Amino acid sequence: MIIQPIVDLAAICARKGIKNIILSPGSRCAPITLAFARHPELHCRTISDERSAAFIALGMAQQLKKPVVLVCTSGTAALNYAPAVAEAYFQQIPLLVITADRPAEWIDQWDGQTIRQEKIYGNHIKSSYTFPDEFSTDDKIWHAHRIVNEAINNSSNFPAGPVHINIPLREPFYPDANEAFNYALPVPIVDQVQSEITLEEEAKIKLKNTLERFNRILVVPGQQTPCRKSQEFIDQIAQRHQAIVVTDTISNLQSEHTINYHDQFLPIYGHGGLYPDLIISFGKSIISKSLKLFLRKSGAEHWHIQPGGYSPDTYQGLSKLIHSSSTSFLKFLSESLEAKESEFSKAWKVANESIGHSLPKVLENAEFGEWKAIETILNKVPEHSKIHLANSMAVRYVNFLGPRKQEIICNRGTSGIDGSNSTAVGCTFTTKDFVTLFTGDLAFFYDRNAFWHNYTYNNLRVVLLNNHAGGIFRLIDGPSRQPELEEFFETKQSLNAENLAKDFNFHYSTASNKEDLDEALLDFYHPSIRPRILEITSDSKKNQEVITWIKSSLSTTLNKK
């Protein structure tokens, strides 16, 4: 039996510009699945593992900047969406999460595949809706249409994020063979018109007068997608010595004019001359713990720029929350700050240039290991491509190595290891450019179901750092000093990726030294009909020694300045 408001749900999504649907198999969700799958304008993919499906949808929405729909059946299937929903919430990525459910009267009655699904994502969702469970009146149908419009609009409003529609369904779930879906019925469409939020003239005058109080201004962009206009203003401000701009790799705003090596010199450089009196931030989180601790210790006043919503007091000095687009505010900043070089700006630039000049030579003389391997591979990544970074060491290695021309993507909303493979696969569904995933072994094997589907992604390149352990724990002071380090923190594992490559039809190569790596890279970025995995094998203890040696060498260089 066809449920027309479910058919209308798919029709409203299509008319509001949503094109991509990720479905996971199930019976209770059959009416929803069929409504989307039979719509001629929607592109549906089936991913069996709901946790992987949700991260794949996240990876697509991240690039498309439009909601991607997720559909699953009732019960624990919905719970498996939770990690990606939380990541999307903190990364401000739009998702439309649709879960099939039992009718209310059957909850808590020991019926199969039945859990408590209303508001299942708690505080990690922008909004939750419950669909009507019957459509006997026009008002019920109007309510269903209203929910869909409101949910889609809310997912895209700043800050964007995931929204949830829970749909109770009764049997029968499947239409008869001769029933046709009608997507052409008139349904209400609620469009929203968005515009850039800019500062009013009176606010500009007040802020410009306030800026005159500060002599040591630090601009700190957080995670965001590349923005050409923001990059132009950032470079302009840095070149004119109007402020110091400190950029992590996930800001996608690094350049030759910004401070890029702070994660290396802040822990070893005297802070006295580097402390700002004003921090101006925009975007989301930063990677560098050293920078966060440094900014908290500085006691500087902090202004955060964003169009709306709440703002965390990350640096413990928040004094102004300025509702403006970042590009508009950066333009204002470039027009308002005095252009002059100071001892403050010189100190930052000397430290940054010292690391920037020394690092290539230090790495050249270092023993082979993960850091040196990543530097070698990054030099081969095509400029017009995208780089996905798993959490733990992969994102930190790339952050240590300075500016990149490619877009940098990492799940830093929750900073978990789950979903890195799947997010990168989702990205490949949106582009023909190469997508390179740098990942550690624990993150990689944890998310192997990312590749368990029937879709092509031959533009994916995986660089797997396999030290058979969670090597980051050797670099954290607490666990590294514990006798239980190897068993309970590193979590030793003996897997390699060769069998996985056979299972999922990857081209596989491996390297444990510089010569093997150079040979593997000869055709790594050649077009191919299969994705490729390059596995870098190394020893966790040896990596720790190499990293310690590199940092010690750079420290010696800095102390000579």
Residue type, 507: H
Residues in the chain: 561
Instruction: Tell me the pLDDT band of 2, cut-offs 50, 70 and 90.
Output: confident
Instruction: Select the more confidently predicted residue: 483 or 445.
Output: 445
Name the residue with tokens 């929204």: 163
389 phi/psi in degrees, rounded to 5: -120, 125
Q: Is residue 223 classed exposed, middle or buried when 0-12, 13-18 and 19+ CB atoms within 10 A define those classes?
A: buried
**Sheet containing 278-282: order of strands:** 244-245, 217-221, 278-282, 301-306, 318-323
Q: Please name the fold of domain 201-353.
A: Rossmann fold (3.40.50)
Whether the pLDDT of residue 476 is over 60: the answer is no
Residue 34 has a pLDDT of: 95
Q: Please name the fold of domain 366-559.
A: Rossmann fold (3.40.50)
d(CA 542, CA 367): 9
**What are 440-467's pLDDT values in tens digits?**
999 999 999 999 999 999 999 999 999 8
Q: Which CATH architecture has domain 4-168?
A: 3-Layer(aba) Sandwich (3.40)
CATH 3.40.50.970 maps onto the chain at 4-168, 366-559
Residue range 487-492: mean pLDDT, rounded: 60
Residue 475 has a pLDDT of: 57
Q: What's the 3-state SS for 77-142? A: HHHCCHHHHHHHHHHCCCEEEEEEECCHHHCCCCCCCCCCCCCCCCCCCCEEEECCCCCCCHHHHH
Q: What's the 3-state SS for 129-177? A: EECCCCCCCHHHHHHHHHHHHHHHHHHHCCCCCEEEEEEECCCCCCCCC
Residue range 19-46: mean pLDDT, rounded: 96
509 phi/psi in degrees, rounded to 5: -145, 160
**What are 144-188's pLDDT values in tens digits?**
999 999 999 999 999 999 999 999 998 877 788 888 899 999 999
Residue 470 has a pLDDT of: 54
**What are 493-539's pLDDT values in tens digits?**
678 999 999 999 999 999 999 999 999 999 999 999 999 999 999 88
Give the chain's radius of gyration (CA, Å). Answer: 25
Whether the pLDDT of residue 73 is over 90: the answer is yes
Average pLDDT, the chain: 92
**Closest among 133, 139, 135 to 118, alpha carbons compared:** 133
Reduce the DSSP state of residue 267 to 3 states and report it: coil
CATH 3.40.50.1220 maps onto the chain at 201-353
Residue range 12-36: mean pLDDT, rounded: 96
Whether the pLDDT of residue 479 is over 60: the answer is no
Instruction: Select the more confidently predicted residue: 310 or 52.
Output: 52
Structural tokens at position 295: 């900014």
Instruction: Select the more confidently predicted residue: 495 or 255.
Output: 255
Residue range 392-416: mean pLDDT, rounded: 94
Q: Which of 13-17, 263-267, 364-368 has the highest mean pLDDT?
A: 13-17
Reduce the DSSP state of residue 375 to 3 states and report it: helix
d(CA 487, CA 22): 38
Q: Do residues 221 and 283 make contact, with C-beta atoms less than 8 angstroms apart?
A: yes
Residue 469 has a pLDDT of: 67
d(CA 436, CA 123): 32
**What are 282-299's pLDDT values in tens digits?**
999 999 999 999 999 999
**Closest among 381, 417, 357, 316 to 532, alpha carbons compared:** 381
Q: Running DSSP on this structure, what letter comes out for residue 246?
A: B
